Chains A and B, each alone.
Chain A
Amino acid sequence: MKSFTVLEGLVAPMDRANVDTDMIIPKQFLKSIKRSGFGPNLFDEMRYLDEGQPGEDCSNRPLNPDFPLNQPRYHGATVLLARENFGCGSSREHAPWALEDYGFRCIIAPSFADIFYNNCFKNGILPVVLPAATVEQLFTALYAQAGYRLEIDLAAQEVRTPAGEVLGFEVDVARKQCLLKGLDDIGVTLESAAHIHKFENRWREQSPWLFNVIGKGQG
């Protein structure tokens, strides 16, 4: 997983409450055998004027000109500014996969759905909760100025605005450490690699019939 330390990036708006996982990535894309490549279908129903099909090349589809991500001033955004209860709905991990694949590394909102919030950390995305009034101010500033950027510093737990404001946020210590180091569950387990090797060597001596029977290591 990618680590997250300090992100300085362009901000895009998702100006509605209760954006659910179906809006983030519609059902028809879940049959895929991949976890990458969902970026072109992020917010598919809002973003395009036609109905998207899995495997379709999105580059020629008619874009919804009113959708912010289709406007040049937001191209290349890595920070998404959102409203209450972002990511509600199913537990599908496809939602953070799609956001990450598109290029978002940080989502700022007054609140998030639980499972989605968790899934973000597993996929290298930092969800930042700020008070509703603060988010409102950020929306105002964002709309007022093209090329609006924010700096998010995870170690310091701060969002810094171009006007020099410093907005503190809370994050669970264990999750913060994992994200700072770029560790997912697998990464955390691999920190115990020495223990696993030690166990494995002893186990191999004790139960040699469990090893090197299947495959190329055979014999």
Chain B
Amino acid sequence: MAGLTLYDKLWRNHLVEQREDGSALIYIDRHLIHEVTSPQAFEGLRLAGRKPWRLDANLAVPDHNVPTSREERAGGIAGIRDQVSRLQVQTLDDNCRDFDIVEIPINDVRQGIVHVVGPEQGATLPGMTIVCGDSHTSTHGALGALAHGIGTSEVEHVLATQCLIQQKMKNLLVRVDGALPAGVTAKDVALAIIGRIGTAGGTGYAIEFAGEVIRGLSMEGRMTLCNMSIEAGARMGMIAVDQTTLDYVKGRTYSPSGALWDAAQAAWADLHSDADAVFDKVVTLRGEDIVPQVTWGNSPEMVLPVDGHVPDPQGMDNATQRSAAQRAIEYMGLTPGMAITDIHLDRVFIGSCTNSRIEDLRAAAAVVRGRQVASSIKQALVVPGSGQVKAQAEAEGLHEIFLAAGMEWREPGCSMCLAMNADKLGAGEHCASTSNRNFEGRQGIGGRTHLVSPAMAAAAAIAGHFVDVRTLQESTQ
């Protein structure tokens, strides 16, 4: 018999019951809860007179709706100006109290984007099954876990039964060999992979990322990569456990310690694909070929190297592709053949569950240090992913670098990633954003989002248009 993939092992370890119709009951170790997708689930429990199956499996934190300006944030929940946002955050608070679920409240230093907070607190660990009512739950797969997003009715199902009804996915191996050139980051790798396999390339698969480049990434970088699995169509992405994983996990609030750490470490040693494991599909990239990436259209697969040019739809054979490109070029206000570096920006957003960890902020600060944001840029926001990231950045003086350059330094939350709070793009405005979705209207009605790495976003803020960050990095050396 062939060996097992990492996904096969995680699946096997959590299989409660295999059903005749092909579905299976899978046990869930950790359930992360935020304010947008949970209210009706709690209400459902209440109406049915049910209680959560296991309280200690749950952890809640508000993130999508919380304001990120210091002033609005200072008032706590009562200070949230938008009525719907305030009600959702308040409801999370109320539900957690009623059901006895641990919540990290709005102005706690540990508060932040749920996908930053989970790993940071050691609430998400290798070998776990992890779910949350948010599609970027794939982030946690970076720890060698089976992690994916779920809908509101499934949130209720997990709360009530500690299980989910699932179909097993196929296995896709994405291997990135070699080494990355200087100035190229995990975000560029993620975008290059999506550019290669497309936004539906991973549909029906669980992705495992492997290869020398992946091994060489920090945990922050691995999270960035797994975070964007969903943009490649896969509900989950994961990376085998190695020393980098163990070093990251050790010593965190909810991580095991002492004898339990030793036992856990021994169990986690198996969390990799067997040498003779068979994947249904294998995609390989060479690290050396990857350069800083910029998306030009309204799908993450509409991505180009920074030295590229906006494509000409006329030259496309595929009719669907042609009309999608045409529509994107119109919406984005571009012209075919235009150099990516000629795209001028109005705003810059450094943040989101993709790129708001300490390493991301360091990379951005390194570019910004001693420079000024271009006068044509209306706003450059830096939004740390959690209160702890914020504190760490401030301890390192990163906030002073951003502020001195003319950027804003905000309170943690999802912020401009989805424009549910006050941070939004105006119609027609171009934004260099470190988030993960460039759909029409995602960052505000009529807003034009370009996805990039934190270093590339910082460079764009300085130049006022896209530039290859490596030219700036060279001039500082």
Contact = CB atoms under 8 A, between A and B. Distances in A.
B203 to A, nearest CB: 19
B335 interface: no
B179 interface: no
B161 A33 contact: no
A213 B121 CA distance: 11
B102 A186 contact: no
Interface string A199-212: 11001001111111
Contact of A200 (B27, B55, B125, B261): B27
Contacts of B157: 185-186, 189
Interface stretch (B36-44, B68-76, B421-429): B36-44
A186 B56 CA distance: 20
Given A195-B25, A214-B56, A215-B101, A33 B48 contact: no
B47 interface: yes
Interface residues of A, number: 33
B215 to A, nearest CB: 25
B161 A186 contact: yes
A214 B39 contact: no
A28 B204 CA distance: 34
B274 interface: no
Contact of A215 (B29, B56, B84, B88): B56
A196 B56 contact: no
B443 to A, nearest CB: 20
**Interface size for chain B: under 10, 10 to 19, 20 to 34, or 35 or more residues?**
35 or more
A93 interface: yes
Contact of B84 (A31, A122, A184, A210): A31
Given A186-B160, A186-B161, A189-B165, A209 B43 contact: no
A46 B30 CA distance: 45
Contacts of B43: 33-36
A208 B258 CA distance: 13
Contacts, number: 98
B143 to A, nearest CB: 13
A216 interface: yes
A122 B161 CA distance: 17
A1 interface: yes
Contacts of A72: none
Contacts of B307: none
A196 B16 contact: yes
B127 interface: yes
Interface in A7-35: 31, 33-35
A27 to B, nearest CB: 14
B87 interface: yes
Contacts of B16: 192, 195-196, 199
B58 to A, nearest CB: 7
Contact of A196 (B87, B101, B125, B161): B161
A155 interface: no
Given A195-B25, A207-B264, A217 B55 contact: yes
Interface string B236-258: 00000000000000000011100
B264 A214 contact: no
The 10 closest A-B pairs by CB, nearest first: A33-B39, A209-B256, A215-B102, A217-B56, A189-B161, A199-B16, A35-B40, A209-B260, A186-B160, A215-B56
Interface of A: 1, 31, 33-36, 93, 122, 184-186, 189-190, 192-193, 195-196, 199-200, 203, 206-218
22 contacts: A33-B88, A34-B43, A35-B47, A93-B153, A186-B157, A189-B165, A190-B161, A192-B25, A195-B16, A196-B27, A196-B161, A196-B162, A196-B163, A199-B27, A207-B127, A208-B260, A209-B125, A209-B263, A209-B264, A210-B128, A214-B123, A216-B56
